[in-house]
């Protein structure tokens, strides 16, 4: 197997075979809540994962990469989304350091990186930064859209027909709006469609969008690129190479450990291949510190090269200059003021917020055999004394001035022949003297497994885990260079929540509500009869709003519809 890996993936994997039609191709369909944003606002997005041969919704890769590129093709925002189902959603807060102009959102999976970047999914959005020089914005006299009092409905379809009906066409402020959606195929049969819905101020929406929503198709059969990327079927695949720091030679066939600094031990072991290459699967959300080191502490002279997560470069067109529609200047100015009011009041209102916090991670070894909570005992002088007096099945030995820990095996009350895996806040740490010098007041607990433990096929003769109160390794320092880096497998999740004015107390609240996006629901599904409905509340701001519904059917047909509403 190792030999085959060394020969390169294209030679031995069926996915890279010469039988082109057998190649699996993925595609992404990217949607946004609107087209024009003011910096500081959030871009709400939905991605559908598709089988590119037929554009049917599919659920193969579990990670979707989203980048916002400026007009020079430089990424100014990057997200990694965990998408365990056929579609997923995200919110991206636009930095207020961005200049006004057109930007390109592109979305892809790791597997799609094997093919030309022009087959990624794209959407152009425009940004206005009212706090910076706006000379880069051109002014167009072309009328892009007109506000209307007739509240028309516009629809385009690629096989999925959508129909929108609202309980009224005009509404008051802080009033409930009820909308029904019906999805049918071209024969009029009901369809169980997967949809997204957004309701925004009409001036922030491009009327031409209805013509560009069609799904992107891969540009024909292409040979995969020279660097094969794996599909990511669980979490983010962290790959790289471990090399000797002096000779730059790969550290081949060596067990290496990936660990994450924190109160829970989350270690993985991987045996590098002949070229020193390794792969780990990561599923943590938010930025955390990872440590990669050889399992054998004797190998200390090394460095690690990680492969980039995101695609580098582009072979697709970049967004052109941004022309502001003069007929919308007044409305846009209104939207800019709204954004600033919203920024002040949003924090006082239960609105857009982070998704539910992640469940606490458990140690890779599950429940320990022995758990010593330091606060449960009389405060002893130091860790050495704690081990001697309280911690069962563990003893300290000193040889040639260096301390080591040994574990009494749980079967015949003899000590194991080899030293145990010693962890400090989840990270393997070999310098026992430093561990024994951790201030007793900083230590929270000690956990012991006095049995052989197998992790990814590698055996440890016992585990001792020291967990500090802060979970940050108590300032311990390795006696050799290690690979330690902040890393986010998945970006933090966020979900849209608008205020609910269902009760009088909330409806009469003095908190101002000037949302430019009234509603965003990325996960709406029509039922067996093709119908579904949703409701939302208008804000304090009057004017034209546009309801946009986009989606896809199980057989890969897409549909789009928008309808204007008037709040007065």
Partner 1 sequence: MKYPSILLLVLFSLSLRAQQPEQNALQELYQDLLHPSDPLLNGREYKYYFHPHLSTPLIPKDLLPSASVVIREKQYQNVMLLYDTYKDQVVYYNPNTLYNNMIITVIVNSDIIEEFTLQLRSGQARFKYLAFPENQEGLLSNGFYEIVSEGACKFIIDHSSVKKIKEGMVAYQYTTERYIISSGAVYRIKGKKSLLKALSDQAAEVNDYLKRTKVQVRTADKEQLKEVLDYYTGLKHS
Are 63 and 85 in contact by the 8 Å Cβ rule? The answer is no
d(CA 423, CA 75) in angstroms, rounded, equals: 38
In whole angstroms, give the CA distance from residue 343 to residue 340: 5
Using CB under 8 A as the binding rule, whether residue 529 contacts partner 1 is answered as no
Min separation Cβ 237 and partner 1, Å: 7
**Enclosing H/E stretch for 210:** helix 209-212
5: contact with partner 1 by CB under 8 A: yes
Residues across the chain: 568
Shortest distance, CB of residue 17 to partner 1, whole angstroms? 9
* Part of the chain binding partner 1 (CB under 8 A), chosen from 13-21, 145-153, 540-548, 550-558: 13-21
Exposed (0-12), middle (13-18) or buried (19+): which is 516, by Cβ within 10 Å?
A: buried
Residue 11 in the binding site for partner 1 (CB under 8 A): no
Nearer to partner 1, 461 or 513 (CB): 461
Residue 15 CB, nearest approach to partner 1 (Å)? 5
Q: Are 423 and 267 in contact (CB under 8 A)?
A: yes
Distance CA 30, CA 44 (A): 11
End-to-end CA distance of the chain: give it in Å, rounded: 69
421, 453 contact by CB (below 8 A): yes
Among 6, 7, 8, 24, binds partner 1 (CB under 8 A): 24
Residue 451 and residue 410: Cα distance in Å, rounded? 6
Q: Is 365 in the site for partner 1 (CB under 8 A)?
A: yes
Under the binding rule (CB under 8 A), the answer on residue 60 touching partner 1 is yes
**Minimum distance from CB of 263 to partner 1 (Å)?**
18
Q: Does 323 bind partner 1 (CB under 8 A)?
A: no
**By CB under 8 A, residue 370 contacts partner 1:** no
How many CB atoms sit inside 10 A of residue 480's CB? 14
- Cβ proximity to partner 1: between 452 and 507 the closer is 452
Token readout for 369 is 């055999």
Kindly state whether residue 231 participates in binding partner 1, applying the rule CB under 8 A: yes
Residue 452 in the binding site for partner 1 (CB under 8 A) = yes
Query: For residue 390, what are the CA distances in angstroms to 345, 383, 445, 446?
Result: 54, 10, 11, 10
Number of residues that bind partner 1 (CB under 8 A): 40
**Which range binds partner 1 by CB under 8 A, 148-156, 243-251, 269-277, 522-530?**
269-277
To the nearest 5 percent, what fractions of the chain are helix, strand and coil? 15, 40, 45
For partner 1, the closer CB: 40 or 231: 231
Q: Binding partner 1 by CB under 8 A: which of 161, 332, 423, 451? A: 451
- Among the listed residues 10, 15, 40, 351, the single contact to partner 1 using CB under 8 A: 15
| Nearest by Cα to 531 from 149, 123, 189, 71 | 189
Pairing of strands 36-38, 121-128: parallel
Q: From 1-9, 181-189, 303-311, 387-395, give the range in contact with partner 1 by CB under 8 A.
A: 1-9
Please return the burial class of 342, using the count of CB atoms within 10 Å of its CB with bins 0-12, 13-18 and 19+: buried
Region binding partner 1 by CB under 8 A among candidate stretches 32-40, 169-177, 275-283, 475-483: 275-283
Does residue 298 bind partner 1 (CB under 8 A)?
A: no
Question: Residue 477 interacts with partner 1 (CB under 8 A)?
Answer: no
Q: Does 388 bind partner 1 (CB under 8 A)?
A: no
Please identify which residue in 223, 456, 529, 555 interacts with partner 1, judged by CB under 8 A: 456
Interacting residues with partner 1 between 29 and 58 (CB under 8 A):
51
Query: With respect to partner 1, which residue has the nearer C-beta, 59 or 143?
Result: 59
* Joined tokens for residue 310: 């995101």
Our finding on whether 10 is near partner 1 (CB under 8 A) is no
Q: Tokens for 516?
A: 């430019």
Applying CB under 8 A, among 36, 79, 455, 482 the residue interacting with partner 1 is: 455
Strands (E), 167-254: 170-171, 176-184, 194-201, 236-244
Beta pairing, strands 170-171 & 558-567: parallel
- Separation CA 116–CA 544 (nearest Å): 41
554 binds partner 1 (CB under 8 A): no
Q: Is 457 in the site for partner 1 (CB under 8 A)?
A: yes
**d(Cα 459, Cα 513) in Å, to the nearest integer?**
59
Is residue 295 a contact residue for partner 1 (CB under 8 A)? no
User: DSSP labels for 116-149?
Assistant: -GGGSEEEEEEEE-TTS--TT-EEE-S------S
Q: Which stretch binds partner 1 (CB under 8 A): 21-29, 206-214, 242-250, 542-550?
A: 21-29
**C-beta closer to partner 1: residue 234 or 389:** 234
| CB 364 to partner 1: min, Å | 8
Residues of this chain that bind partner 1 (CB under 8 A): 1, 5, 9, 13-15, 22-24, 51, 60, 111, 230-231, 233-234, 237, 269-271, 279-281, 362, 364-366, 410-411, 417, 449, 451-459
């Amino acid at each position: 197997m190792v030999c085959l890996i060394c020969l390169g993936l294209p030679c031995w994997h069926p996915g890279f075979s010469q039988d082109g039609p057998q190649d699996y191709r993925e595609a992404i369909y990217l949607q946004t809540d609107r087209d024009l944003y003011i910096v500081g606002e959030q871009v709400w997005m939905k991605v559908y994962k598709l089988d590119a041969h037929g554009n049917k919704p599919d659920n193969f890769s579990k990670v979707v990469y989203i980048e916002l590129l400026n007009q020079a093709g430089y990424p100014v925002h990057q997200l990694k989304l965990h998408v365990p189902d056929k579609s997923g959603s995200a919110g991206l807060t636009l930095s207020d350091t961005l200049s006004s102009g057109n930007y390109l959102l592109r979305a892809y999976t790791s597997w799609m990186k094997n093919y030309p970047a022009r087959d990624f999914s794209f959407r152009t959005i425009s940004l206005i930064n009212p706090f910076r020089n706006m000379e880069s914005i051109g002014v167009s006299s072309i009328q892009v859209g007109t506000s209307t009092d007739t509240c028309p409905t516009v629809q385009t379809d690629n096989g999925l027909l959508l129909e929108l009906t609202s309980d009224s066409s005009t509404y008051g402020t802080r009033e409930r709006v009820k909308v029904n959606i019906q999805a049918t195929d071209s024969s009029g049969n009901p369809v169980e469609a997967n949809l997204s819905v957004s309701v925004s101020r009409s001036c922030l929406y491009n009327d031409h969008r209805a013509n560009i929503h069609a799904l992107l198709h891969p540009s024909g059969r292409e040979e995969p690129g020279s660097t094969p990327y794996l599909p990511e079927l669980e979490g983010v695949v962290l790959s790289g190479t471990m090399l000797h720091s002096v000779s730059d030679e790969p550290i081949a066939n060596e067990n290496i450990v990936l660990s994450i600094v924190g109160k829970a031990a989350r270690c993985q072991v991987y045996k590098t291949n002949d070229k020193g290459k390794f792969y780990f699967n990561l599923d943590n959300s938010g930025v955390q510190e990872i440590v990669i080191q050889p399992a054998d502490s004797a190998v200390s002279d090394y460095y690690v090269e990680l492969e980039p997560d995101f695609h580098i470069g582009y072979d697709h067109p970049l967004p052109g200059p941004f022309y502001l529609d003069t007929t919308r200047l007044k409305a846009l100015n209104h939207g800019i003021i709204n954004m600033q009011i919203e920024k002040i009041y949003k924090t006082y209102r239960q609105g857009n917020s982070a998704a539910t916090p992640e469940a606490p991670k458990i140690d890779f070894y599950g429940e320990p055999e022995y758990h010593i909570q330091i606060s449960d005992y009389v405060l002893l002088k130091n860790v050495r004394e704690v081990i001697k007096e309280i911690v069962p099945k563990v003893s300290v030995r000193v040889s040639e001035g260096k301390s080591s820990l040994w574990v009494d095996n749980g079967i015949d009350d003899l000590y194991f022949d080899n030293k145990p895996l010693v962890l400090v806040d989840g990270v393997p740490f070999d310098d026992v003297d430093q561990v024994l010098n951790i201030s007793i007041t900083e230590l929270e607990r000690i956990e012991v497994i006095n049995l052989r433990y197998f992790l990814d096929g590698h055996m440890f003769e016992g585990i001792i885990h020291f967990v500090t109160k802060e979970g940050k390794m108590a300032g311990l320092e390795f006696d050799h260079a290690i690979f330690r880096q902040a890393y986010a497998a998945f970006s933090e999740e966020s979900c849209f929540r608008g205020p609910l004015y269902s009760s009088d107390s909330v409806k009469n609240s003095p908190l101002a509500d000037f949302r430019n996006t009234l509603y965003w629901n990325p996960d709406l599904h029509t039922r067996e009869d093709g119908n579904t409905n949703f409701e939302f509340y208008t804000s304090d701001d009057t004017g034209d709003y546009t309801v946009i519904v986009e989606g896809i059917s199980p057989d890969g047909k897409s549909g789009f519809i928008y309808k204007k509403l008037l709040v007065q």
